[in-house]
Structure 1
Amino acid sequence: MSEIDAALLEKMEEYNKKVEKIDLELAAKRNEMMAPLYEERRKVIADVKHFWLTVFRNHMGLNQIIEEEDIPVLEHLTDVWVKHDPKEIRSFEIIFTFSDNDYFTNKELVKKVVFKDNEQVAEPFTINWKDGKDLTKSKRKQGADDVSDSFFSYFKDEDVTIAHFIANELFPDALSAYANEEDDMDFEDDSEDEGSVDLSGEDDDEEEDEEPTKKKSKK
């Protein structure tokens, strides 16, 4: 590479860093402005029975990872809330609040994603399952060769794909999903909601290679 090419490359990198900085600032500002509306929505849907279960089941992307045995548990899901780190928007928590149930003792399940070393890392969360109720223990479906993972398996998973999708796509558009109006909403489109701002901290090419479908493993 010539000295001219090297100098041009350096300028391009500096330019891209400036663009990224502005994109992140805009995304943070948008979250700040939307926060009161999310609080308002929270009050509106507070008494809607099975609101979040309906959102999950209506969504053509998320419903792929919900098993039948997950549904009785998700019927107790009363609230989903996303908290972004005000100093680093790519770090966030998704808080799932549950009413008392026969499956686990936790009142809240939290999926935390931290941006560090120029990438997002999901921290595993421990669910305190009651005896004999652990849905994350793989069970072979009758007549099937594959073992399907429960939705709750993702709380112990370090993959950020689903967390990123819920935080930046599903949560902002929950009302549309509830009304079943999200015809084109899918995992692959999870960067569109933030004004096309990439909050994943990963290269676009890498994201395109990852196709987040239902996880299955052989017994």
Structure 2
Amino acid sequence: MSAEEAFTDDLMVLEEEAMKVSEQVQAYHRKLMAPIWEKRREMVKKIPNFWNQVFTNSTLSEMDPTDNDIEAIENLVDFHVEYDDNKPDYRKVTATFKKNNVFKNETLVKEFTIDPESDATVISKSTIDYHENKAPNQKKRKANDDDDDFDGMEFLDWFSNDDARMGILLTEDIFPNALDYYQGDESDEDIDEEIELGSDSEGNRVVNSSLDFYN
């Protein structure tokens, strides 16, 4: 092994150590933020259309939302993420909706893991009870699945499918930064940077390797 190769190997080991530290920092940050997010959850229930505004200002709105997605988000009254201090890769997403013309469920829940060293894995998912003629077109969905360039949003369908990738964006960016998105404080440039790097509660950029799944 040449000196250059040995140096490259050392750099890779150092980078892995840095990523592990970053993941520990993020886990600790989530633990400290949990009670604050609970307080926020109760406070924003008094704000009409809070979560609709959050999602409208987020990067998801740029991903070709379906009509079902748009109506679902317009009727979204609560959106919450649960983390597990003992299982840093675990996520549980719970979304609560008003009565709407798309589906009958009041609550949709999805559990998954986002281990950056393997793949995002779905643990459990909801079965969506659509109103008549509102279920997604299966032929169109298959065509989209076969299209490598398809970048559709599919927010609602995500709760019932086996794909966990969108959950990374939901739990690592949109949920933690909900107030920023609601206020519209984030420019497009800032959003792009945060998807790549993430940010802490003070606005400082931190490495967020788990978001690489979504890119």
Task: Specify the TM-score bucket, using the shorter chain as the normaliser.
Answer: 0.7 to 0.9
- Across the aligned residues of Structure 1 and Structure 2, the Cα RMSD in angstroms comes to 3.2
Range moving further from structure 2, 70-79 or 148-157: 148-157
Native 8 Å contact 2:51 2:79 kept in 1: yes
Q: Percent identity?
A: 23
Q: Partners of 2:27 and 2:183 in 1: how far apart?
A: 27
Q: What's the counterpart of residue 48 of structure 2?
A: 49
Q: Partners of 2:175 and 2:187 in 1: how far apart?
A: 16
Aligned length: 197
- After superposition, the C-alpha distances for 1:2-52 in whole angstroms (9 at most, x for unaligned) are 4x5565455444433322221111111111111121112112111212211
Q: What pairs up with 1:116-131 in 2 under 5 angstroms?
A: 116=115, 118-123=117-122, 125-131=125-131
> Structure 1: which amino acid aligns with 2:46?
D
Q: What pairs up with 1:102-141 in 2 under 5 angstroms?
A: 102-116=101-115, 118-123=117-122, 125-137=125-137
> Structure 2: which amino acid aligns with 1:82?
V
Range moving further from structure 2, 61-70 or 193-202: 193-202
Range moving further from structure 2, 62-71 or 16-25: 62-71
CA-CA distance at 1:117 after TM superposition: 8.2
TM-score using structure 1 length: 0.72
Residue of 196, 202, 206 corresponding to 1:196 = 206
**1:11 and 1:198, CA in 2 relative to 1: closer, same or farther beyond 3 A?**
same
Q: What's the counterpart of residue 67 of structure 1?
A: 66
Native 8 Å contact 2:116 2:210 kept in 1: no
Native 8 Å contact 2:77 2:97 kept in 1: yes
Tell me, what secondary structure is at the counterpart of 1:130? coil
Residue of 177, 181, 185 corresponding to 1:177 = 181
Q: Partners of 1:201 and 1:70 in 2: how far apart?
A: 22
Q: Partners of 2:103 and 2:175 in 1: how far apart?
A: 24
Q: Partners of 1:201 and 1:22 in 2: how far apart?
A: 16
- After superposition, the C-alpha distances for 1:45-87 in whole angstroms (9 at most, x for unaligned) are 112122111211123x211233344333323311111122313
Q: Partners of 2:28 and 2:13 in 1: how far apart?
A: 23
**1:162 and 1:150, CA in 2 relative to 1: closer, same or farther beyond 3 A?**
closer
- After superposition, the C-alpha distances for 1:107-158 in whole angstroms (9 at most, x for unaligned) are 3222333145822314273433234153422698xxxxx9x76432333444
Question: What runs of 5+ residues in structure 1 fail to find an aligned partner?
Answer: 141-145, 211-219
Q: What's the counterpart of residue 168 of structure 2?
A: 164
- After superposition, the C-alpha distances for 1:162-188 in whole angstroms (9 at most, x for unaligned) are 221121111122122112222235466
Native 8 Å contact 1:113 1:120 kept in 2: no
Q: Partners of 2:31 and 2:154 in 1: how far apart?
A: 33
**1:201 and 1:89, CA in 2 relative to 1: closer, same or farther beyond 3 A?**
farther
